[in-house]
């Protein structure tokens, strides 16, 4: 099945337009009368087209994958910046809260009296408050002023500043029945998700037949509060790993930082016939398992030079294999291109390498 080097070079130069005018005329004259040569040129031309298409498909697949990765990386960067901003806001809010908490008045309740440490902001509001010392071993005592029952909570205004006691603090002792009530206001619950609508663009990546290579690519998310989370849920309510999805219908759930979410139902992932590369070693008993498909078809295997090396019919849904031998019962190592033409007009292409 191998072509001589001279003939192979002439076919290659003829198809590439590299022959001189005189050599081209002589070659075409021979081509018109030599059926075997015409078949070789036709096969060589088909093989070249198959190899070129295979390379273009591989490059296209690589570009699509890089595009998907770039979109996801962009979303991650946006979420990271949003998270940093939210973190800064929370830290500032907590610092302010604890500052206010520190400045709140201190009220000490004892068994018989309620003691409030009071600094009057007006010098004329309280008089005759003084401090005296005694000769005992105890610390400095503080003179106390008894407040009559006629003084109620309403007489204590916000311009009297409450503080933590120390040895220089003036103390007013209130009777037990004079109390200060503290009222705590319960915050009103707010529905953070009211009126929130989360929108996004979605691109569905089809899965190769009988494989789990599908994905739903979500981008340009708007609405709600960052960062966002995305879940892919199947019909059995299972949460699946994106980029490893088989064919079927899915629900995409997008949630924001406040747990507000929007569901996108009936996202369908379909199958496609993917170009595949295979290799096997027939010298140790290995065979190539021909891809199974739901339709009948014809398998053609070409050498790298473009010559038809092997051909057979395949049956729908049948498990068939190839042992590496050519139509003339020869066994060669190297790179081969295969094409399967199905009865509905579709086809599958790829390569198979015989190693030793």
Contact of 106 with 164, CB cutoff 8 Å: yes
306: alpha, beta or left? (left if phi > 0; alpha if psi -120 to 50): left
Question: Rounded to whole angstroms, how far apart are CA atoms 14 and 17?
Answer: 5
Greater pLDDT, 155 or 69:
69
Question: Rounded to whole angstroms, how far apart are CA atoms 288 and 324?
Answer: 8
Give tens-digit pLDDT for 19-31.
898 888 998 888 8
Contact of 216 with 204, CB cutoff 8 Å: yes
Report the DSSP pairing between strands 276-280 and 347-354. Answer: parallel
Question: Rounded to whole angstroms, how far apart are CA atoms 31 and 29?
Answer: 5
Q: pTM for the full model?
A: 0.38
The stretch 58-71 carries a mean pLDDT of 74
Could you give the dihedral angle defined by the CA atoms of residues 313, 315, 321 and 323, in that order, rounded to the nearest 10 degrees?
-20
* Residue 316 pLDDT exceeds 90: yes
Contact of 180 with 104, CB cutoff 8 Å: no
Give tens-digit pLDDT for 72-91.
666 666 556 666 666 665 66
The stretch 236-265 carries a mean pLDDT of 91
Sign (positive or negative) of CA dihedral 204, 205, 206, 212 = negative
Domain locations in the chain? 113-128+140-175, 202-272
């Amino acid at each position: 099945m191998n072509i001589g080097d001279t003939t192979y070079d002439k076919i290659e130069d003829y198809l590439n337009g590299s022959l001189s005018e005189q050599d081209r005329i002589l070659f075409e004259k021979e081509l018109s009368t030599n059926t075997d040569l015409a078949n070789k040129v036709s096969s060589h031309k088909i093989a070249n087209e198959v190899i070129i298409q295979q390379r273009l498909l591989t490059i296209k697949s690589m570009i699509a994958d890089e595009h998907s990765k770039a979109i996801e990386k962009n979303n991650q960067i946006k979420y990271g910046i949003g998270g940093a901003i939210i973190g800064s806001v929370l830290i500032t809010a907590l610092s302010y809260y604890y500052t206010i908490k520190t400045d709140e008045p201190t009220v000490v309740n004892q068994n018989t009296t309620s003691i409030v440490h009071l600094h009057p902001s007006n010098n004329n509001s309280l008089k005759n408050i003084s401090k005296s010392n005694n000769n005992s071993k105890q610390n400095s005592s503080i003179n106390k002023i008894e407040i009559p029952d006629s003084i109620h909570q309403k007489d204590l205004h916000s311009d009297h500043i409450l503080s933590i006691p120390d040895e220089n603090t003036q103390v007013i002792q209130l009777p037990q029945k004079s109390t200060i009530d503290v009222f705590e206001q319960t915050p009103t619950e707010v529905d953070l998700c009211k009126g929130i609508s989360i929108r996004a663009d979605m691109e569905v990546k089809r899965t190769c037949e009988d494989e789990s290579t599908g994905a739903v690519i979500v981008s340009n998310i708007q609405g709600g509060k960052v960062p966002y989370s995305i879940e892919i849920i199947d019909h059995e309510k299972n949460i699946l790993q994106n980029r490893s999805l088989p064919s079927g219908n899915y629900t995409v759930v997008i949630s924001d930082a406040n747990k507000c979410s929007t569901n996108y139902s009936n996202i369908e992932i379909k199958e496609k016939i993917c170009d595949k590369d295979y290799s096997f070693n027939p010298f140790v008993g290995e065979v190539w398992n021909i891809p199974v498909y739901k339709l009948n078809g014809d398998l053609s295997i070409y050498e790298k030079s473009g010559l038809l090396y092997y051909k057979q019919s395949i049956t729908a849904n049948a498990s068939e294999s190839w042992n590496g031998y050519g139509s003339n019962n020869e066994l060669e190592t190297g790179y081969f291109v295969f094409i399967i033409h199905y009865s509905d007009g579709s086809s599958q292409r790829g390569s198979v390498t015989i190693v030793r």
